[in-house]
Chain A
Amino acid sequence: MSEIRLQVKNVSKSFGITKALQDVSFDIAKGEIHALIGENGSGKSTLTNSLTGIYQKDSGQFILDGVEVNPRNQVEANNEGISIIVQELGTLDGLTVAENIFLGHENKFVKCGIKNTGAMNRKATELLKEYGFERIKASDMIEHYNFEDRKLVEIVKATYFNPKIVVIDETTTALSGEGREELYKQMKRIREAGNTVIFISHDLPEVLRLSDTITVLRDGVYIDTVKSSDVDEDGLKKLMVGREVSGEYYRADYGERVSDEVVMRVKNVTVPGLISNVSFDLHRGEILGFGGLSESGMHEIGKACFGASFDREGTVELQDGTQINDIPTAIAHSIAYTSKDRDNESLVMNQSIRDNICLPSLKTLANKLHLLRDGKLKKFAQQFAATMSTKMESVDQFASNLSGGNKQKVVLARWIGKDSDILLLDSPTRGIDVKVKQDIYQLMDKMRKEGKSIVMISEELMELIGMCDRIIIMKDGEINGEIMRDKDMDENTLIAKMV
């Protein structure tokens, strides 16, 4: 066993009443790529964010090379020799490439309070050249570059000072094949220099191929650390989920014919800057999937069909000829939408579960004088919260106190209560544990059989493959291919069209 670089000792962290990390302890060695895996919400990011000073842990210790470290922000973490490449964009608009690389470390270039921009740019150019990214110019504004190049800048930013630990948090999903290879190369380079990479990824084959050691977390609790050479994918899955994943997780049927009846016709829909010229038909009883990179514009599809997009062109037409151009019309014609941004767009957080469920159905709940009775609202909310088996104290509780999975259940309960026929579900299982995921998949299957139509937008390819009758792949705001449900379809077919 090689020398220990980082000891994680009894680390705990809570957000309000949710315990994101509970008493987690394990060791990470020098010169290894150490993968951290687990379901959504298992605490991977919370752990690395605490290590890099983005969050403050509640208790426990991080011991780096025998010395306790307690960074209060990312700059302090950098000074301790810890850096991070985050999942989302980690570079700031309005600054140059060089300024982004040296963010928080400008002091090196400051003399008598004046920043030496020339020296900073020279140093950045030198670094970019060293990494082989010559096409990126140090003095350019960062927003001139696309997502991928900005990720490369982030790699430079996080690694140029030869840190002892580099955290890479689910970065690969955002990168194309070429970008991934570049990242893999850098990860190996760090390992060869005797430093450590903490690698978070959902892509198990990738994890097995790249990492030396794998630590599994589940619901904020440490489960196990294993050598990559000793496990396979199924073994990892079992550790992550805590039981055998049964075959009934997704839909089981194949080869069922979808009705020819079109319930929604989307024609030449364009939302400036997000999607352009998208057309498709949604059939009765169909689950239509949308996949792509998260920047591909697919998340706008749901909003556009719901009449919620700003400045949309083109038409969204229902079977009876109704044009959908605003949200109230969409809802009145039995369309439901669950947003990816659940906390801001789907749920009124500081409002009771009761009101959240009743909100779109108030018109039908009112009596002839347009008056509403508390008892009736409560009964309605209770009925549909129970249909979704929502875990809660009572319907008077605020939605903000619920866990991610239960929040999503409340959102779905609202639309089941409204008895919507067309459901636009954007990332319906994002950040939700396996059990609730399964519930949602089963619900979708049931609705499909009842003749309801579902548009499912998701970044998780496996659930698209498992659930959809048809998958449309988006790239750069346009449709880049359509794949029919097939038993033998694998992720690579989809990825090939995504990037």
Chain B
Amino acid sequence: MANTDKQVTKDSALKKQTIINMLRSALPIIGLVVVFIVFNTLTKGNMWTSRKLILNQVYVVLISTVGVFFIMTMGGLDFSQGSIMGMASIVVCMLSKVNIVLAIVGGVLAGAAIGAVNGFFYVNRKIKSFIVTICTMFLFRGFIKYMASNSPVAASMKVYDYDTLGIKLGITLAVLAVSFLVFRFTKFGIHLKAIGAGEKATKFAGVRTDRVKFLIYVLAGAITGLAAFVNIVKNGSATANVGNQLETQILIALVLGGMPISGGAKVRFENIIVGSLLYIVLNNGLIMMGLTTQAMQLIQGVIFLIFVALFADRQSLSVIK
């Protein structure tokens, strides 16, 4: 008797858990659809007409979100993404005057180098990732200001040739496709999730966790370096504010996409795409509604808080690494 009771409570507890999980995973998509419809109605279809403009803003956020997605999957954070974007953009601008291919490679390498600095202090010096990346955020922002304050660093005029839908969408899709493959179908993806869910046990299962952690920061830097190329193609020059607050945009996008902030086994690749789209639609919708910047930030803050509260994985709640 006692045993069947136990079974029933266990079953109902599991069932409840599944329903909650299903709701949680469906929420971002429902949110995207609802937000899109609401803003289209409110702006009387204006949003749909300007979809190309809106889509144009998605690429950079979408690409750089991929790297941070990997970082957050293993339970880390990265606040230096904006500064990485800035540094890489400046490098791209300078090298574009020599050769476009060189500019792309240079941007990627610059991003990877900053990622390596993050990774070194995080892994070898064992400093928490949000502390390390806040430090590098300020450090490299200082560099950017130094390089671009007097006058923006302009790229070669040639970059405008690459400002086509094919190139921007192509790079974005390629990054997404490769990352999806790696994340879903290689041991790398399983290792990442395992580190997020329990680093010590993962280490004891034979995963070289320190190496993985370091490489992820390098990779995230490199991906954002590639995004910097798309950014420069769009804008033509790097100002002192280039990439400013990109890290916040990425973080909001991921959380809106349903990413649990502690990472681990519950992350889904869809988080990136749904989240980035949701963020951009929300942002543009608010602008089109004619809201002031202050009001926008306020509303964004409230929405961000609600989503974090909804998706926080309280079972595995631990300090962010």
Chain A residues packing against B (C-beta within 8 Å): 16-17, 19, 22, 221, 306, 308, 327-328, 330-332, 337, 339, 344-352, 355-356, 358-360, 362-363, 366, 370-373, 393, 398, 400-401, 414
Contact = CB atoms under 8 A, between A and B. Distances in A.
Contacts of A350: 197-198, 264-266, 313, 315-316
B186 A372 contact: yes
A333 B233 CA distance: 51
14 contacts: A328-B207, A332-B206, A344-B198, A346-B204, A350-B198, A350-B315, A351-B197, A352-B265, A359-B205, A370-B187, A371-B181, A373-B185, A398-B265, A400-B315
Contacts of A370: 186-187
Given A355-B265, A400-B315, 18 more contacts: A17-B10, A22-B2, A328-B208, A344-B201, A345-B204, A346-B204, A347-B198, A348-B202, A348-B265, A349-B201, A351-B198, A355-B193, A355-B194, A356-B205, A359-B190, A360-B206, A372-B185, A372-B190
A332 B208 CA distance: 12
| Interface residues of B, dominant DSSP | helix
Contacts of B197: 348-351
A332 B207 CA distance: 11
B215 to A, nearest CB: 15
B13 interface: yes
A22 B5 CA distance: 11
A360 B201 CA distance: 11
B14 interface: yes
Given A350-B264, A360-B205, A371 B193 contact: no
A351 B194 contact: yes
Contacts of A221: 2
A339 B14 contact: no
B158 interface: no
Given A349-B316, A352-B265, A400-B315, A19 B6 contact: yes
Nearest to A363: B187
Contacts of A347: 198, 201
Contacts of A373: 185
A355 B197 CA distance: 11
Nearest to A308: B204
B51 interface: no
Contacts of B208: 328
B150 interface: no
A144 B141 CA distance: 50
B9 interface: yes
Contact of B201 (A345, A358, A398): A345
A22 B2 CA distance: 9
A366 B9 contact: no
Nearest to A347: B201
A17 B197 CA distance: 21
Contacts of B187: 362-363, 366, 370, 372
Nearest to A332: B206
A328 B206 contact: yes
A351 B264 contact: yes
Contacts of B24: none
A330 B181 CA distance: 29
B207 A359 contact: yes
A393 to B, nearest CB: 7
A17 B11 CA distance: 9
B200 interface: yes
B6 A327 contact: no
Contacts of B206: 327-328, 330-332, 359-360
Q: By CB atoms of chain B within 10 A, which of A330, A345, A360 has the most?
A: A345
Contacts of B313: 350
Contacts of B264: 350-351
Interface string B5-21: 01001100110000000
Contacts of A22: 2
Contacts of B265: 348, 350-352, 355, 398
B186 A348 contact: no
Q: By CB atoms of chain A within 10 A, which of B9, B191, B197 has the most?
A: B197
Contact of A339 (B9, B193, B204): B204
A351 B193 contact: yes
Contacts of B207: 328, 359
Q: By CB atoms of chain A within 10 A, which of B13, B191, B194, B266 has the most?
A: B194
B68 to A, nearest CB: 21
Contacts of A372: 185-187, 190
B252 to A, nearest CB: 24
Contacts of A348: 194, 197-198, 201-202, 205, 265
B123 to A, nearest CB: 15
B126 interface: no
B191 to A, nearest CB: 8
